[in-house]
């Protein structure tokens, strides 16, 4: 299990007791030879799963990603059925990645209304499979980083070691924080300066967050991090 590379497993996090191995991203078998997976290779361990069904990627046990390609958006609305099924999995944080290109741009507003307003899921637009791979790595990184912070926060851990790790603003943490919709570089950096980490930000009240970004954005951030 510790060997770097790609291999197949019979379970899936969308099934009861299914888990993503530590340090890996679970990938639907249909993406095996795609450009997106090629962009992931060498940067994160890939675990192929032939039972993911509606889900395309699992960057963490509790995070499920559906990828909508340019062709999917132009071809019709069949992808909406997959998104609805994802919404019904209460234990999952659903994220939809969609290709926004010159050809698919006219369908983006409708997709946004459906995914965000009607279903309450997170929608992130990308311009290419390579950009989608970068976002998946960010999601994988943030989940692993939060797990490390939780581990370091256990009783009897070294407080001096923890302090040294959270003092600077890590570039990867900043990039991951910017994945929160409505957050740009300035606000993301200001939040990390105030709270120190995404873990602490997720524990903050809307009032505390509003002191940095304003009430409207604070409510959005709070809901995004605490769904």
Q: State pLDDT tens for residues 16-61.
A: 445 677 778 889 999 998 999 999 988 888 988 888 878 999 888 7
C-beta separation of 81 from 111 below 8 A: no
Q: State pLDDT tens for residues 75-102.
A: 887 889 889 988 887 777 888 999 999 9
C-beta separation of 226 from 204 below 8 A: no
Q: State pLDDT tens for residues 188-206.
A: 888 888 887 787 888 888 8
Helices (H), 20-170: 35-40, 70-75, 78-87, 105-112, 129-152, 159-166
Domains along the sequence of the chain with CATH: 6-129 (3.40.50.10130), 153-226 (1.10.150.20)
Q: State pLDDT tens for residues 132-148.
A: 998 888 888 776 655 44
Helix crossing, 215-226 with 206-213: angle to 10°? Answer: 130
Mean pLDDT of the chain: 77
| SS3 at position 65 | strand
Instruction: Please tell me the distance from the alpha carbon of residue 76 to that of residue 98, in angstroms, as a whole number.
Output: 14
Mean pLDDT of 114-130: 87
Tokens 């790790």 locate to 165
Q: Does the predicted model carry a pTM greater than 0.85?
A: no
């Amino acid at each position: 299990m510790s060997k770097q590379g790609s291999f197949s497993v019979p379970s899936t996090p969308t099934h009861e007791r299914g888990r993503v191995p530590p340090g890996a991203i679970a990938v639907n078998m249909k993406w095996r030879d795609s450009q997106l997976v090629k962009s992931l290779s060498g940067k994160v361990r890939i675990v192929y799963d032939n039972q993911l069904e509606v889900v395309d990627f699992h960057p963490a046990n509790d995070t499920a990603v559906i990828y909508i390609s340019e062709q999917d958006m132009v071809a019709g609305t069949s992808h909406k059925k997959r998104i609805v099924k994802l919404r019904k999995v209460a234990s999952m944080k659903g994220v939809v990645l969609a290709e926004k290109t010159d050809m698919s741009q006219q369908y983006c507003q409708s997709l946004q209304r459906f995914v965000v307003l009607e279903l309450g899921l997170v929608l992130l637009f990308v311009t290419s499979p390579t950009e989608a791979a970068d976002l998946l790595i960010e999601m994988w990184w943030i989940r692993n980083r939060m797990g490390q912070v939780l581990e370091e926060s256990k009783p009897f851990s070294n407080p001096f070691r923890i302090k040294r790790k959270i003092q600077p603003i890590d570039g990867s943490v900043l990039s991951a924080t910017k994945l929160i919709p409505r957050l740009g570089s300035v606000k993301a950096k200001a939040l990390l300066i105030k709270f120190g980490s995404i873990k602490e930000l997720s524990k903050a009240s809307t009032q505390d967050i509003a002191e940095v970004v304003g009430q409207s954005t604070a409510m959005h951030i709070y809901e995004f991090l605490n769904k």
